[in-house]
Amino acid sequence: MESNQETASNSRTIAANVLIAFCTLAAVITFPLTAAWVLTPDRSMPFVWIVVSTALFLVFAGIGFLIYTKRTALDWRKPLLLLIVVIVGLVAAEVSAHMYFNYRLKAVGERTLDDTTGWRTRPDFQSTVTLPEFGEVTYSTDANGFRIAGDPNTDKIKVLVIGDSYTQALQVSDSDAYYSAIDESTEYELWAYGCGGFGNYQQYLVIDEWFDTIKPDIIVWQLCPNDFVNNDNQLESRSRLNNNNMWRPYLTEDGPIWRYPWPTNNPLYYIVGKSRLLRYFDTKLRLSTLGEDQSIEESLVPGTPEYASLSETSGRIFELARARVGTTRIVAFSSDTWLKEVWEEVLPQYGIELIAIDQELARAQAAGEKIDGQPYDSHWNKRGHEIAGGALLRALDDEPTAD
């Protein structure tokens, strides 16, 4: 009988020691100074992360201390059952988060996940909604996600328009988007594809996918200053304003890579990047504790290393595009005047014409015209698209500029 009691006592002691070791390791990892060292490049954390880290540290340290004081009399089955319940609960929460976000991204909404571009415009989508500042909007795409798709066998001049959310144009109806001016012309056959959040490399991948099918005579490339952030994983990781918090391909000097926008490259990057649950909380915590004046955009000014990298990163993408499309005419414009000097430096190197649609929009706005949905939405309204479309059509009608 004593032997059985000793065996049971030894089993409880072994189980207790295992649980103590687990809690000690967890407490060390969640200790604020350790967490700051692992999680952040500058060894510091936002206040919210400090509170969460401290709370977890106290929980694990407290449980470990309690088990240590009761280890000889501990019924190991109870803490083991508790541990199993916690693990099963976390797994269930992760599975539920995957199911929820995959449903949102794959089954509903104007975008869907994609293995080539990270995400893309949902094909065969139709909706009619009423938006503040924009009114009733009817939006639709064809079987390939194009807002407008022409006939590849036409004798007209074929124009492929590519861009981000300004080209996806969820704020205006199909017939009111800026490229409708091209579609209404008897001279051109039009294809228009835009996807919110796309950087220039993702836009290039769409060009690459459809270039041989459409064989466009002209490519219209709608640019936006946030492209500079979305083209660079480290810049996007440090952005509060233009961080999509999605896996996407980036073009680096070593070639294409897939990454999640996370400030540091450590084991937790892979855990957070693959976990829907942790990504959700990470996004909420990081973005809620980072002010607009702390976002990387504030550093994109001449004289900073971040600014100096913009030309190299974007130039790499446009060099690839030029090699892919050969001598095809490329006309580009930016939806905003910010950082336009970088476009002016980079694009001519690859024979890409930059037209001043942003200046026409700025003049209209200075004259008192409302061209967007502010304060609700900064994207163009119907009038903004009308101005942009008119300027674009005039530019296409002009003779191409010399390289």
**Which of 46, 72, 106 marks a domain boundary?**
106
Q: Which two tokens stand for residue 251?
A: 């073009």
Residue 54 or 401, more confident: 54
Residue 271: the pLDDT is 64
Identify whether residues 218 and 291 lie together within a single domain.
yes
Q: Are residues 98 and 124 in the same domain?
A: no
Q: Which two tokens stand for residue 41?
A: 């490049």
pLDDT, tens digit, 9 for 90 and up, residues 72-120 = 555 656 666 666 666 676 677 667 666 666 655 555 578 888 999 999 9
What does the DSSP 8-state code read for residue 121?
E
- Alpha carbons 353 and 304: distance in angstroms, whole number: 27
Is the domain of 247 the same as that of 355?
yes
The answer, yes or no, to whether residue 244 has pLDDT greater than 70, is yes
Which of 106, 126, 144 corresponds to the end of one domain?
106
How far is Cα 292 from Cα 304, in angstroms, rounded to an integer? 18
For residues 308 and 350, membership in a common domain is answered with yes
Residue type, 129: V
The answer to the question of residue 403 being in a domain is: no
* Measured distance between the N- and C-terminal CA atoms of the chain, rounded to whole angstroms: 95
Give the residue from 79, 106, 133 where a domain finishes.
Answer: 106
137 lies in the same domain as 193:
yes
Q: Residue 367: inside a domain, yes or no? A: yes
Q: Yes or no: say if 358 and 334 are a contact pair by the CB < 8 Å rule.
A: yes
pLDDT tens sequence across 271-314: 666 676 666 666 666 655 555 556 788 888 888 888 988 999 99
* 32 inside domain: yes
Number of domain units in the chain: 2
* Number of Cα atoms under 13 Å in the Cβ half of residue 382: 12
Considering only CA atoms, give the Rg of the chain: 27
Write the pLDDT tens digit of every residue in 66-84.
767 766 555 656 666 666 6
Q: Which domain holds residue 332?
A: 115-397
* Paired strand residues for 43: none
pLDDT at 380 over 50: yes
Tokens of 206: 């769409």
Average pLDDT, integer, range 197-208: 97
Q: Can you give the pTM of this predicted structure?
A: 0.76
Coil, strand or helix at 52: helix
Specify the pLDDT at position 358. Answer: 86
